[in-house]
Amino acid sequence: MISIIFNTMNIYLFWILFLALWAIVPLMIIKGRVDEAPKIQTSPKVKAKKKGWFN
């Protein structure tokens, strides 16, 4: 009798955790994509002058 109760509790616990995982993972993915906004450059990048044969 007790093992039946524990089995049903384990099944309910499994589904609660499983559905919670399916709810949290897409939110984490969406949140991660929002954080990848383009960064504004405050100063222009200075390119090093290449030294060639005749420069």
Map out the domains of the chain as residue ranges: 1-33
| 23 vs 50 pLDDT, higher one | 23
3: amino acid identity, one letter: S
Residue-wise pLDDT tens digits, 38-48: 677 777 777 77
SS3 28: helix
Phi, psi of 4 (to 5 degrees): -65, -40
SS3 54: coil
Q: From CA 44, how far away is CA 23, in angstroms rounded?
A: 42
Residue-wise pLDDT tens digits, 9-46: 788 888 999 999 999 988 888 887 765 566 777 777 77
Distances (CA, A) of 54 to 26, 27, 47, 50, 51: 56, 57, 19, 11, 8
Note the pLDDT of residue 49. Answer: 74
